[in-house]
Amino acid sequence: MMNDFRCLYITLLAVLVTGCGSRASDGEYEKVEHFVPAHWPSDLLDASSKIEERTLQLSGQSATDASAVENQLRDIVGWVPEIAADTDLTEEQWDPVYFASEKLSKRLAKMARPLDDATLKAIEEYRKLLIETADLLPPEEVAEVVIEESPPEVTSDSVAVPQEEAGEQSR
């Protein structure tokens, strides 16, 4: 019995002194990479957009078909206070986002399927708050939302030639 305690003591002491893993030598450190989910919003406007997308996806789906989308919706709402905290918002500007996120998170934890009107209204009000809060930020803190559109058709008639080049072409 005493030998078991001695053995355990020596093992614990060895682990404490040397550590569990190998250490990099000569200033080499292991690079720590963090996993960022694909649905992580880039800013408050992106969060609002992603919430809208997931809400539309949930409309009309049964509970069994929608569990992944529901989880993403809950994730995004839960991440919003952290995203807002990484901006220049004051505490007074951040607090409503935090409290609204907490309130909506609780509602989404027991989300009825299909989404009821009260939940849809709560989500829409939350999205409106995110957009209004994003408007308080300087433009450099709000990522541009790229709207996918097909480029305009280019024809020879629609190509404008700068004035300097126009003069050279007529010569």
Q: What is the extent of the structural domain holding 123? A: 44-138
The encoded tokens of residue 97 equal: 């986002």
Q: What pLDDT tens digit does each residue of the chain (171 aa) get? A: 545 545 444 554 454 444 555 454 555 656 666 788 999 999 999 999 999 999 999 886 666 668 899 999 999 999 999 999 999 999 999 999 999 999 999 999 998 777 889 999 999 999 999 999 999 998 876 654 444 444 444 444 444 444 444 444 444
Residue 156 lies in a domain: no
Is 18 among the domain residues?
Answer: no
Q: Please tell me the predicted confidence (pLDDT) of residue 115.
A: 86
* pLDDT at residue 44, rounded to an integer: 97
Q: Give the per-residue pLDDT at 20.
A: 52
Q: Are 48 and 101 in contact (CB under 8 A)?
A: no
In a domain, 152, yes or no: no
Q: Cβ-count burial of 98 within 10 angstroms (0-12 exposed, 13-18 middle, 19+ buried)?
A: middle
**Residue 29, SS3?**
coil
Split into its structural domains, the chain has a count of: 1
**CA–CA distance, 116 with 128 (Å, rounded to integer):** 19
- 3-class state of residue 15 by DSSP: helix
Burial (0-12, 13-18, 19+ Cβ within 10 Å), 115: buried
pTM above 0.85, yes or no: no
For residue 142, the model assigns a pLDDT of 60
- Residue 104 inside a domain? The answer is yes
Give the span between the Cα atoms of 73 and 63, in whole angstroms. 14
Residue 71 covered by a domain: yes
Residue 96: inside a domain, yes or no? yes
Residue 95 token pair: 């607090």
| Residue 103 domain-assigned (yes or no) | yes
**How many Å apart are CA 72 and CA 55, to the nearest integer?**
10
Whole-angstrom Cα distance, residue 137 to residue 89? 7
| Cis ω before 151 (30° cut-off from 0) | no
